[in-house]
Structure 1
Amino acid sequence: MNQPPDLPAVQPMQPPAPAPPSQMSTSSVGESAARRAVLDVRDEVGKVIVGQQGVLSGVITALLVNGHVLLEGVPGVAKTLLAKTLAAAFDMQFSRVQFTPDLMPSDVVGLSVLDQVPGQAPTFRFREGPVFTNLLLADEINRTPPKTQAALLEAMEERQVSIEGTTHPLPKPFLVIATQNPIEYEGTFPLPEAQLDRFLFKLVVGYPTEEQEHDMLARHHGGMDPHATADLVKAVATAEDLAAARREIDRVTVEPAVLRYIVHLARATRESPSLQLGVSPRGMTWLLHASKAWAWLSGRSFVTPDEVKAIAKPCLRHRILVRPELELEGTAADAVIDGLLATVPTPR
């Protein structure tokens, strides 16, 4: 299960590693059907996506804990393709919305339309928007105005849409994968902190390695069409597998010392002189749930500080704000988190 890293950051996040043999007999979650199905999804997506295994593991982790993901990367690094392929492997309904400056909230969530049938009184009927799906790809989400961005707030947090006083529940499962380009900022609308905090992870999608790019070119030269997902990828997991996986993750144990460690990390971000905004209680809760899922993917039935450290940057980097004067000097959120991980005492 050792895979290439996903993030060109200070310390790239690696996909979960298997539990040591000494722990497998007494502390393993076992090779359940749900875990096998989830791991099969990662292998199935690998038929289309070359590299980016750490990013894929992060997205799967988010799906396991009912979270959302913000993918940041330059054009052409397979962000959209990853989302589409993952939906196919999980046998989920997929919708894609291209966020543009003229996109309206009703283009995302839907609207009420007037039905006029001859001989009957006119009635209003709700026409569902693309948000009514299992996996919604919000492509280039920072290119649409705040009013349209806010249309996703209720959907992401409460898994429902309210139109004219009527609440419409979203399908289960429901996952938002949003993308943004870190290079072109002209004509963009940065996501507000309230919306950023609703994403479980912010994953940085970097370039593949030289060998991975060679493998990719060889596949294309051989005639592979990466957009023909129906021919390349088969459904190897279902919503039932996902529900079973979530039940198993709920049973992953967390010692009080590890809970306290998560609290100390979150509070350290609020007290850091390098930051003007620290991690919210919601972010701290997400760090716990993601750590449990990461341990489960690793084959462990308990969470160690290593799991917390492995997902700390993807889970926290978008929830903190570096002070402007330090940001001008080149200090990044990842570097601050690395410093906190090095200074906050790790439980033994």
Structure 2
Amino acid sequence: MHVPDGFIDVPVSVATGVVAAGAVAVSLRGARRELDERTAPLAGLVAAFIFAVQMLNFPVAAGTSGHLLGGALAAILVGPYTGVLCISVVLLMQGILFADGGLTALGVNITDMAVVTTVVAYALFRGLVKVLPRTRRSVTVSSFVAALVSVPAAALAFTALYAIGGTTDVPLGQVLTAMVGVHVLIGIGEAAITALTVGAVIAVRPDLVYGARGLSAPLKLRVGGELVDAAPAAPAPVAARSGGSPRTLWATGLVTALVLAGFVSFYASASPDGLEKVAADHGIDKKTEEHATADSPLADYGVKDITNARISGGLAGVIGVGATVVVGSGIFWTVRRRRTANGAGSGAGTVPAGNA
């Protein structure tokens, strides 16, 4: 759903740029409360993983494909504020290095793909985990539903922005129907990827999943005929928890992202994604402008002057994952250090005790 330059007029692009800048500023402050010495490296990995999975377009209908937006996944794994930053880093890397998503439309894309998806998904996720049984399975199910809803919500947000600042005269009803219809289908794929990823991390290191914190009900003991809360057990050492240290998870995740971007991406669907298809079918793309970095050595996810498509695309994907994890990790490490300098507590959270 990367909006290119020319879809939205200048005033609305500037306005969304202000909204995006404000959201990033608020998220930088909020992320200080979400990140600690264990989760800060994970946040950089989440950004790189989302970058990699976004390269894996999957078919959703005749001649149309979709890809992960990632707002729900990031918010549930590392927190909503950090999630906004993760997606913003991905969009920045894509726009600057790969000419994917317009630079003048960066505010539109951050507002739509980072802010809307994260806010909608995490609000729905928190509501679901409050009413469902307190188990790890509930977290996975809630992740599925939240991710599913977040994608058509982003489609609605784009339609609203287009209604205000669209550069072509297309009936709004047609745009709304087409955008929401195709993105409901894409949302199913988003939901499956999100639930599988969250479930996999919970199975290995549930204490590192932000959305799973505080879900365990206290152990009850019967004393004198009344139920009272038992004293909480001391946390197990990191090495004794399932999955070992966070470094093991980080290394495994990074290798997975590199394999997805460097190898599996070659087999992704070549069909246009939902927004591209709707734009082409309804004339939204009539005033599309050439990307400012269209001549970038990595434009269109290929390395310039390398003629072998498999090698070119795979190398570009590996470079993208590397750049995203370095930039993302640098940002999150800086945020964590500012938190430490301000004397904030670790806020590590509670490990859920429910079983899947």
TM-score (norm 2): 0.26
Bigger RCO (CA 8 Å, 6+ sep): 2
TM-score relative to the length of structure 1: 0.26
